[in-house]
Amino acid sequence: MSNSNAKSHGLNGTLVEPDWPPLQLDEVRAVLSQVPDARAPFEILSVSPRPFSAASVVATYGRRVFVKRHHRQVRDAEGLMEEHRFIAHLQANGASVPSVLKTTTGATAIEAGQWIYEVHDAPAGVDLYEDAISWTPFRSAAHAGSAGEALARLHTAAADYSAPARPPRPLVASFAIFASANPAYSMERYLAAHPALAADAATRSDCRQALDLLAPLHAELLPNLPALRPLWTHNDWHASNLFWSDESDTAQVTAVIDFGLADRTNAIYDLAQAIERNIVEWLALPRNPASGEAVPVHLDHLSALLDGYESVQHLTDEEAAALAPMTAICHAEFALTEADYFLGVLHSKEKARVASDDYLVGHAKWFRSASGTKLLAAIRQWAAAREQRVVRA
């Protein structure tokens, strides 16, 4: 296929010119020449519209593979290996994740000049949400339920993975600021570890505003924080990072991809991210920030997602109680890591403001609105109904 007209997902949901040039066949050929299991490529089958890297599904003489290219400012070899070691552990424990292919020297991170590449087997199943971006909903409640089940299975496979949390890097969805009893202090530590953020006055102002907005929700979360066991998590559980058994509304999840945001957080943080990514159509908010009530919220999908999760993995009472405030808080560090990427890598203050103002502050404001409060109430009601079901059982 031609990739000369490739587009990527813009911050407002439209298709825009990509920040990174798409992969070329000669470039892919040079990479795959180092990967004996891949064989020579003959066609680039698709160009990913995701904005933070360049990636394609590639047909080789023998199999299909997924090739992804990062700039070294975003990922170095050790940064990719953090993800690859987690993927290998999940696969060894029965999770349906594609293999990362090795070079002739056994490496899975392939360095070439300013770029670094990774090569994965093509996942099993149908890429049903190939063009969907985060904050767009599932096609059906059945899909939401299957996604919840798959997330619980992933957490089971990750349970004994003991690697430490990742060091500060661009585009990693960590959980440190609101995991603390003193978020203001932890925010300062976070900013100090990300110099591009620390030097930007507008971002600092947005951080102060977000801390104030989220303070009551952190107060609700705080008593249950000690019960949230550390766990390596996916942190980007959107339908587009899942592969499916078929194209029907009853399709089941067959594979999980894209561990770029993975880190050591906890299961409730990951489950809250799944709610934040799939249940609220946030892209409606920037179009009219004053009309939070107009943002679609899919409460039937919420129930299906949570029931699916708990059909595989039971939450403790403390975990269930933590889920509502965590849902309001979980976006904070990813908003900041996006702002850090835009400031430190792309050098775009305009895009950084979208991340810190529209995303970090705008979403925090929405959760304090009537519409956001309604969603949090629905999560609390689910938790209460779950407790009643457990008592009756």
Mean pLDDT of 236-250: 97
Q: Of 377, 266, 273, 376, whose CA–CA distance to 316 is shortest? A: 266
3: tokens are 């990739």
Q: How far is CA 25 from CA 49, 51, 192, 233, 254, in A?
A: 17, 20, 41, 33, 29
Q: Is the pLDDT of residue 347 over 90?
A: yes
Mean pLDDT of 297-325: 97
Q: Of 170, 166, 194, 181, whose CA–CA distance to 83 is shortest? A: 166
Query: From CA 221, how far away is CA 232, in angstroms rounded?
Result: 20
Predicted local distance difference test score (pLDDT) of residue 21: 95
Predicted local distance difference test score (pLDDT) of residue 4: 55
Judged by DSSP in three states, 128 sits in: coil
Q: What percent of the chain has pLDDT over 90?
A: 85
Q: Is the pLDDT of residue 176 over 80?
A: yes
262 φ/ψ angles, rounded to the nearest 5 degrees: -60, 145
Judged by DSSP in three states, 61 sits in: coil
Beta carbons within 10 angstroms of residue 252's beta carbon: 17
Predicted local distance difference test score (pLDDT) of residue 2: 47
Q: Give burial (CB, 10 Å; 0-12/13-18/19+) of 336.
A: buried
pTM above 0.85, yes or no: yes
Q: Is the pLDDT of residue 292 over 90?
A: no
Do residues 352 and 201 lie in contact, with contact meaning Cβ atoms separated by under 8 Å?
Answer: no
Do residues 241 and 253 lie in contact, with contact meaning Cβ atoms separated by under 8 Å?
Answer: no
> For all residues of the chain together, what is the average pLDDT?
93
Q: Is the pLDDT of residue 5 over 70?
A: no
Query: From CA 188, how far away is CA 168, in angstroms rounded?
Result: 14
Mean pLDDT of 290-299: 81
Predicted local distance difference test score (pLDDT) of residue 17: 81
For the segment 207-222, what is each residue's pLDDT rounded down to a tens digit?
Answer: 999 999 999 999 999 9
241 φ/ψ angles, rounded to the nearest 5 degrees: -100, 15
Predicted local distance difference test score (pLDDT) of residue 131: 85
Predicted local distance difference test score (pLDDT) of residue 132: 87
For the segment 99-125, what is each residue's pLDDT rounded down to a tens digit?
Answer: 999 999 999 999 999 999 999 999 989
Do residues 108 and 84 lie in contact, with contact meaning Cβ atoms separated by under 8 Å?
Answer: yes
Q: Mean pLDDT lowest for which of 40-49, 97-106, 227-236, 258-267?
A: 40-49
Q: Which domains does the chain have, with CATH numbers?
A: 8-121 (3.30.200.20), 141-392 (3.90.1200.10)
Predicted local distance difference test score (pLDDT) of residue 393: 46
Q: How far is CA 367 from CA 203, 342, 359, 361, 390, in A?
A: 20, 25, 12, 10, 29
Mean pLDDT of 271-284: 94
For the segment 14-29, what is each residue's pLDDT rounded down to a tens digit?
Answer: 667 878 999 999 999 9
Predicted local distance difference test score (pLDDT) of residue 391: 46
Q: Of 251, 337, 294, whose CA–CA distance to 52 is shortest? A: 337
